[in-house]
Structure 1
């Protein structure tokens, strides 16, 4: 049973640094300092920040090093890892394997956390120890309902629901590090919609919840698809989503008939996205 008790008042144990922040970085010289500033400005201080540079060719590394050098505090450990370009899933996995915290929080190099983000999540995780994985809203979102699903302040999210809509966005999530022991890591062979693949596997085996508060700004508030970055490649995104549908079927989350329905549902959404992008131009 979920409870709101203690959400805003962390107990003595929860005030200790418990969180490892993992940030994959590629060509992020324009945004990485703003992203890191949002971490340092958290009212709940993380234990460490692990930045994995995935073969950037711009001045991203210089910007990170300049930011770290400017910090006059020793309460957060910064670790910068350099690797050849191997993709965002590999970069996240490398960072997560290095994590020492009891919880892992993911953040992308062009996104920002509001100052209370970690404090709100850690408070809820401590008050509700059964929660393994906790996401939030972003960019001012608030959910009252989606189709027949009613949303509360804390709403359980199942793998089945995620096959219809991805309610978790990478920079909003925090989870127990032990989740990786059972579920494993991001699929490094899947470049698009890779986070959906991971969420489905996690939610199929763990208690996952959405905190119905907007605590993150993603991509400077730009549209969620068809604008820039990986999300701009709608065709490849659709292939990734269809792979995730197949994963749900293989895991037994849905039966064959519902899987077929989901494929058609996904294709309809893909056509809608194409139309929206065309209208923007």
Structure 2
């Protein structure tokens, strides 16, 4: 590819000493490397900060790597701080316990160069491939609307890359929402921008563990459900759905919540 757009990678870091080096390596081993990597340490109490500092001291590659510290304030504030520091054409998000396949950025940048109207591009993860979900058929590139995200969150944070200009129109993550905060942001972005899913699995999240009820913030199913219901209300307030569809979505979300509880109990 010629004239490759520059990319800023943002990683929030909190007590991830067992995974952060693998995550950093997955960025440095990209076949198409980003210009900068910004790590925001969110008040870690383990050895995470020291590990990243040591990695930076010994790193000899072309990526400009920075680490900033803040008192523990939550993942949304950490991402926001990182995105405010970003200077490149595109911002790619990654979490400290996930990692990218080596061709992740190259594949997405190729799509973005070929289709410059795309503002926001996600991918699949953990071997997923979508053919159809309910009545929605998926192609190699599938536009994702804010309404569709109210039914299912097809974008997962470590898979997404987007134009930095998105920040000017949509702003940042809601720092008051600690659960399902990424869904809140995707809905707002997709309400205002051209968002697309690349139907390729380019990321490993959670070490391949189940998507909910296992560890991290997603393990708190009750709070996750509160976050999802808040996102449903957001969709209604933005005019993405009308009142009747909003009420249907609430019932639908509660059914999914009950199903998740049952799955976790059976798994345990």
Sort the TM-score into its range (normalised by shorter chain).
over 0.9
Given candidates 11, 20, 39, the residue that maps to 2:27 is 39
Kindly state the Cα deviation for residue 70 of structure 1 after the two structures are TM-superposed: 2.2
Specify the SS of the correspondent of 2:200: strand
How many angstroms apart in 2 are the aligned matches of 1:217 and 1:63?
21
1:226-241 counterparts in 2 under 5 A? 226-241=213-228
Specify the SS of the correspondent of 1:126: helix
1:168 partnered with 2:155: yes
Kindly state the Cα deviation for residue 66 of structure 1 after the two structures are TM-superposed: 1.8
How many angstroms apart in 1 are the aligned matches of 2:208 and 2:194?
29
Count of residues paired in the alignment: 268
How many angstroms apart in 1 are the aligned matches of 2:59 and 2:21?
12
1:13 partnered with 2:25: no
How many angstroms apart in 2 are the aligned matches of 1:139 and 1:202?
24
Name 1:109's counterpart in structure 2. Answer: 96
How many angstroms apart in 2 are the aligned matches of 1:42 and 1:277?
35
**Structure 2: unaligned runs, 5 residues or longer:** none
**Structure 1: unaligned runs, 5 residues or longer:** 1-9
Specify the SS of the correspondent of 1:50: strand
1:1-281 counterparts in 2 under 5 A? 10=1, 12-14=2-4, 18-73=6-61, 75-281=62-268
Q: Deviations over 1:158-204 (max 9, x none)?
A: 00000000000000000000001000100000000000000000000
How many angstroms apart in 2 are the aligned matches of 1:244 and 1:185?
15
Kindly state the Cα deviation for residue 68 of structure 1 after the two structures are TM-superposed: 1.4
TM-score with structure 1 setting the length: 0.95
- Please list every run of at least 4 consecutive aligned residues from structure 1 whose deviation after the TM superposition is greater than 3 angstroms: none
Q: Deviations over 1:229-268 (max 9, x none)?
A: 1000000000000000000000000000000000000000
Specify the SS of the correspondent of 1:91: helix
